[in-house]
């Protein structure tokens, strides 16, 4: 038997990463079809302003989805990100309104710090409190939101109270690309690079695949889990700054319900809800798809109820695909063992 004949079966072997790429390609195709159909119905959908608005809205969601994807890969979830965005946005908006001379970098660092503290609280409760992440972050969702409402006391920070350099940040650009989009690209790119090319990324995937086996392999599960939650919180805090700069007016309700969109973007983007697989780029594509769906339905004058129904259907399809992947992997492993 020749070497070529021995290698042939291996070439047909099922690889999960190939299916993952297929899912990401499916999102791109769905985006292309949706954009083409909407543009045919209303050519203004491809106007410069429309594209810009979609990218700016996607940027905030993609930043949050990056952190959420990393947490979900570890077989956890962070439902507090919407409230973290809210408390970060209100904190930074209040700080900038009372100290208008502060540079933008200080606002960004403040948002990151607020979010990181919130994420650290989540991580400590999950790891050392031995409480499921779903329960912990559902609780902190209400706690962080309650703190923001108590602090705001029914007031809001209006755009005319914020310094000009803060408000123009959302519309400023570098080489024609808005700063918000550039920040999102850097965050998504850095997250993807970390998960693909660095040891910590491989350890996070291992934790999601089998937490017990990861412990036995000597992986520092506690440290990595805390790091994942801190990162998710920090990026939600960063998104809060971008939110405040983009919309100007900030009140205690900022970011309400965004955690559901973030989770939907991650799941639709191919990150397995059972942990251990998925990619940051897939989550970002999911964020773009959900943003475009919302924009397209408005342009096509379709009831916004259908947006929620479509997102729900996409989540169910994504979960079914995850189960299909798990079944295919198990079957492939059984066949491989049978030939040993």
| Per-residue model confidence (pLDDT) at position 334 | 63
The pTM of the full predicted model, rounded to 2 decimals, is: 0.85
- Listed by start position, the domains of the chain span 49-322
The per-residue b/e assignment along 107-130, b for 16 or more CB within 10 angstroms, e otherwise, is bbebbbebbbebbbbbbbbbbeee
Alpha carbon dihedral 53, 57, 58, 64, in 10-degree steps, equals 160
| Per-residue model confidence (pLDDT) at position 70 | 95
What's the fold here for domain 49-322?
ABC transporter involved in vitamin B12 uptake, BtuC (1.10.3470)
Q: Phi and psi dihedrals of 269, rounded to 5?
A: -75, 0
The residue ranges of the chain whose pLDDT is under 50 are 1-16, 19
- Candidates 144, 102, 100; CA nearest to 121 is 144
């Amino acid at each position: 038997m020749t070497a070529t004949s021995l290698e042939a079966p291996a070439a047909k072997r099922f690889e999960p990463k190939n299916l993952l790429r297929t899912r990401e390609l499916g999102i791109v195709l769905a985006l292309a079809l949706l954009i083409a159909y909407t543009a045919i119905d209303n050519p203004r959908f491809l106007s410069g302003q429309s594209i810009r608005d979609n990218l700016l809205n996607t940027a905030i969601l993609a930043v949050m989805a990056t952190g959420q994807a990393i947490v979900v890969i570890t077989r956890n979830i962070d439902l507090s990100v919407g409230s973290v965005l809210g408390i970060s946005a209100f904190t930074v908006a209040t700080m900038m309104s009372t100290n208008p001379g502060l540079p933008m970098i200080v606002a960004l660092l403040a948002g990151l710090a607020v979010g990181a503290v919130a994420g650290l609280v989540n991580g400590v409760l999950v790891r050392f409190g031995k409480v499921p992440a779903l329960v912990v972050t559902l609780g902190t969702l209400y706690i962080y939101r309650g703190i923001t409402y108590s602090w705001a006391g029914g007031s809001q920070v209006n755009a005319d109270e914020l310094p000009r350099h803060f408000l123009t940040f959302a519309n400023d650009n570098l080489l024609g690309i808005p700063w918000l989009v550039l920040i999102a690209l850097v965050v998504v790119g850095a997250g993807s690079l970390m998960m693909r090319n660095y040891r910590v990324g491989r350890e996070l995937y291992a934790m999601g695949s089998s937490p017990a086996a990861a412990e036995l392999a000597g992986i520092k599960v506690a440290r990595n889990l805390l790091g994942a939650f801190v990162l998710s919180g920090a990026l939600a805090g960063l998104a809060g700054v971008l939110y405040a700069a983009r919309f100007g007016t900030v009140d205690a309700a900022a970011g309400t319900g965004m955690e559901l969109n973030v989770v939907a973007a991650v799941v639709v983007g191919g990150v397995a809800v059972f942990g251990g697989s998925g990619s940051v780029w897939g989550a970002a594509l999911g964020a773009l798809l959900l943003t475009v769906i919302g924009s397209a339905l408005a342009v096509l004058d379709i009831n916004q109820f259908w947006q929620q129904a479509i997102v729900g259907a996409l989540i169910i399809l994504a979960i079914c695909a995850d189960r299909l992947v798990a079944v295919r992997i198990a079957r492939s492993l059984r066949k491989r063992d049978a030939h040993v």
